[in-house]
Amino acid sequence: MALFKFIKDGVEEIIAQDSSAFTFKPDGKTKSYAVQRIMYKQDHWMPPAFVNLGGKKYLMPKWVEVHPEAQLSDVIYTKPEIKKPVKEVKEFTSKSDPTITYKATRTIYPSGEVKYYCNCPGKWRAKDGMCKHLKSFA
């Protein structure tokens, strides 16, 4: 089922047809016609679904009110790309004991937030939490 917005001499109506190709026979009296296919766009990580509530039909999960005869074939669904955080890791050997290694990590999230972590004792001693290993990232 396909939905079309049909404007005939300035009067607008919505037509539902079984075929996605619009079929119409002009009557010869009408001055102007305009036809537009009705499609709904959905860009959410969750696939689209319909909900009937209170006599109205909604496209979920964004609660977009749609035509009562709308179907999933009338929805253009694009799944957004999920960006993963970028992790940078550096390893350092202790100067006092060469068998001990410390791992410093900088994580950059898609929102722009940056978090630092180091497993050395200097991170806990520093007031700002930035040991010499984490300062090497800057």
Which tens digit of pLDDT belongs to each residue from 20-35?
A: 788 777 777 878 888 8
Which tens digit of pLDDT belongs to each residue from 78-134?
A: 988 888 999 999 998 888 888 999 999 999 998 889 999 999 888 888 888 888 888
DSSP assignment letter at 48:
P
Q: What is the DSSP string of 56-122?
A: EEEEETTTEEE-TT--GGGEEE-PPPPPPPEEEEEEEE-SS-TT-EEEEEEEE-TTS-EEEEE-SHH
